[in-house]
Chain A
Amino acid sequence: MTAAIRLKGVSRHFGSVRAVDDVDLEIREGEFFSLLGPSGSGKTTCLRLIAGFDQPTSGAVEIFGTDATATPPYRRPVNTVFQDYALFPHLNVRENVAYGPKVRGDPGPVRRRLADEALDLVALGGFGDRRPSELSGGQRQRVALARALVMEPRVLLLDEPLGALDPKLREQMQGELKALQRRLGIAFVFVTHDQAEALSMSDRMAVFNEGRVQQLGTPQEVYDRPQKPFVADFVGSSNVLPPEMVERLTGKAARASLRPESIRMGSGGVSGTVARRYFLGSATRIEVASEGVTLNVLLPKGSEVPATGADVSLVWEADALHVMPGDDHG
């Protein structure tokens, strides 16, 4: 597979702020790629550099092997679904979707047909004559999707497209987006701050923090083998054990990640005291204070939950403890 998008040493500085700092990234053709990170981590700036709304301070952006660093957005073969949808309020739904074909110079009947096909694709056939203001959030989201897809891009950029939807609808749209991506076979570059969303939808993902890519890999790799404490904590809220504790347990003096769901109650393990309990519905999370470290433990429904203040002993499988090679600034 060839690279659809390649960022080569791309930086974007705003004054003294390094929004994107020397990022190398390769997004393959036809894959679902997520840029995951907290707000201000540089993921949206990265997307804007790919779309062409912003220009890198240094470095190069390649799209399908050609240098596009200085190409304006209207000449790039990518399209964007905006976080606020950015639908044109003075146009109805069909005119919104037909906007791209219109400025391209397609004749009226052609762009009408294209728009209606795109609306069918997102299950909004028959909504063409409505105004964007008459639609629900989820419907607007679909119009924004149709408006980008009508251009038949080989890469679709999505900037937190599900951020404004309620959880139920969000879950449904996640499934639909993934199915749509499979069906169209084009690359989706998906910006999100929701680690569960990135894990469940992506073929590969890049975890961003402070303008840099902290880790790049499949969701499994990122979840099971976090390379840095930040990744361990941000993706799946892992416990990050300090080097002293890890050295005593394994002999290696480095920080290690330990997933809350890998820890069980047992005997002869690490002892501690239950500090707090949180009932989550499908599980209960407890915080155990042990040797100056607070460990999060996720107990599945049906298991015995110790009372607050109780002394407990925690055990886990040897391979659950993942020693991390890097620290956050390495």
Chain B
Amino acid sequence: MADVAARARNSARAAALSRVSDALWRRPSLLLLALVVPPLLWLGIVYLGSLFALLAHSFFSIDEFSGLVKYELTLKTYAELFRASNFDILVRTILMASAVTVAAAVVAFPIAYFAARHARGRWKAAFYLGVMLPLWSSYLVRVYSWKLILAKEGILNWVFETLRLTWLLEAYLSVPGIGGNSLSVSWTGTFLVFLYIWLPFMILPVQAALERVPPSMLEASGDLGARPGQTVRNVVLPLALPGIAAGSIFTFSLTMGDYIIPQIVGTSARMIGQAVYQFQGTAGNIPLAAAFAVVPVVVMGFYLTLARRTGAFDAL
């Protein structure tokens, strides 16, 4: 008897389930809605919400006597950004992000080209492992190990010494701006670490873009009389451009927002990320921190518009 009841219950449940799946099959939009709404809520409320809260704060200001936030709309905080000491931070950060992006593109392209066009089987696996492996270890560990590599007692100095090229390193370090006491406390050091840390984010999209270029396209170029150099310039680079654009979005924005690398490796001059960290923390100046944080958003907006205008996404 109990058996029969259980079977009846089961079949009733199965019937209800199939009614649900039938209803979803008939109205695919319902299914889509069910799938999309939870992540949209997350993205909309948690992410965009906090972004707007930030944006709102940047239009408030801080009372210089009490140190409290005055909730009145003003552009005073943005004017603060243009004070020489703050403006330097912006210029320095944008220059660094640009330099890192350009260098990452230059370094990533041959690696990505090799992986996409020549590596097969085991070489391809080695490529993915080589590019991804650093991402599996802690970011902090990698940055600190670079500090050791670049330090005065580090392996790089030792290499220069062994090659009797210390004079070259010294000469380089004496260049104002990019030099310093040792590489680990110079802008060059910061730049090298940024380049290393963000390189995978450039290599992977460029490799994906090159992977999509059929070999016959390159053969056609050669067939029509283009030397290998001309083929790279006229066919490979334009077709890799969407990948370079995607990669540069990563390297550019990640460099602009980072506050740990410049703190561990480099000079005492701050970048945007550090400024945000200090103003909202120790200084308690949330409006100014917010205004600083808006800068990368605006710069990225300009950057994307520019990339679109130059046709970087045309081949997508």
Instruction: Write the residues of chain A forming the contact surface with B, with a CB cutoff of 8 angstroms.
Output: 51-53, 72-75, 79-80, 82-84, 86, 88-90, 99-100, 102-104, 147-148, 151
What 1/0 flags go to B225-255 for Cβ under 8 Å of A? 1110010001100110000000000000000
Complex: chain A residue closest to B235, CB-CB: A88
Contacts known (A82-B216, A84-B214, A86-B214); A99 close to B314, Cβ less than 8 A: no
Cβ distance A140 to chain B, nearest Cβ, rounded Å: 13
Q: Are A90 and B238 in contact (CB under 8 A)?
A: yes
Q: Which residues of B contact A73 (CB under 8 A)?
A: 219, 222-223
Cβ distance A203 to chain B, nearest Cβ, rounded Å: 24
Contacts known (A84-B214, A90-B314, A99-B234); A53 close to B227, Cβ less than 8 A: no
Q: Which residues of A contact B238 (CB under 8 A)?
A: 90
Cβ distance A84 to chain B, nearest Cβ, rounded Å: 6
Q: Which residues of A contact B221 (CB under 8 A)?
A: 88, 99, 103
Q: Which residues of B contact A52 (CB under 8 A)?
A: 222
Q: Are A80 and B217 in contact (CB under 8 A)?
A: no
Q: Which residues of B contact A80 (CB under 8 A)?
A: 219-220, 223
Q: Which residues of B contact A83 (CB under 8 A)?
A: 216
Complex: chain B residue closest to A53, CB-CB: B219
Q: How far, in angstroms, from A53 to B314 measured CA to CA in the complex?
A: 29
Q: Are A82 and B222 in contact (CB under 8 A)?
A: no
Q: How far, in angstroms, from A53 to B219 measured CA to CA in the complex?
A: 7
Complex: chain B residue closest to A84, CB-CB: B216
Cβ distance A135 to chain B, nearest Cβ, rounded Å: 16
Judge whether B224 is part of the interface by a CB distance below 8 angstroms: yes
Judge whether B315 is part of the interface by a CB distance below 8 angstroms: yes
Q: How far, in angstroms, from A135 to B93 measured CA to CA in the complex?
A: 46
Q: Which residues of B contact A86 (CB under 8 A)?
A: 214, 216-217, 219-220
Q: How far, in angstroms, from A53 to B231 measured CA to CA in the complex?
A: 14
Q: Are A89 and B224 in contact (CB under 8 A)?
A: no
Nearest first, the 7 closest Cβ-Cβ pairs linking A and B are: A100-B224, A86-B220, A86-B216, A103-B226, A73-B222, A90-B238, A80-B223
Cβ distance A36 to chain B, nearest Cβ, rounded Å: 22
Complex: chain B residue closest to A89, CB-CB: B315
Complex: chain A residue closest to B213, CB-CB: A89
Cβ distance A187 to chain B, nearest Cβ, rounded Å: 16
Q: Which residues of A contact B315 (CB under 8 A)?
A: 89-90
Cβ distance B241 to chain A, nearest Cβ, rounded Å: 8
Cβ distance A274 to chain B, nearest Cβ, rounded Å: 48
Q: Which residues of A contact B217 (CB under 8 A)?
A: 86, 88
Q: How far, in angstroms, from A49 to B216 measured CA to CA in the complex?
A: 14
Q: Are A74 and B222 in contact (CB under 8 A)?
A: yes
Cβ distance B208 to chain A, nearest Cβ, rounded Å: 16
Q: Are B223 and A89 in contact (CB under 8 A)?
A: no
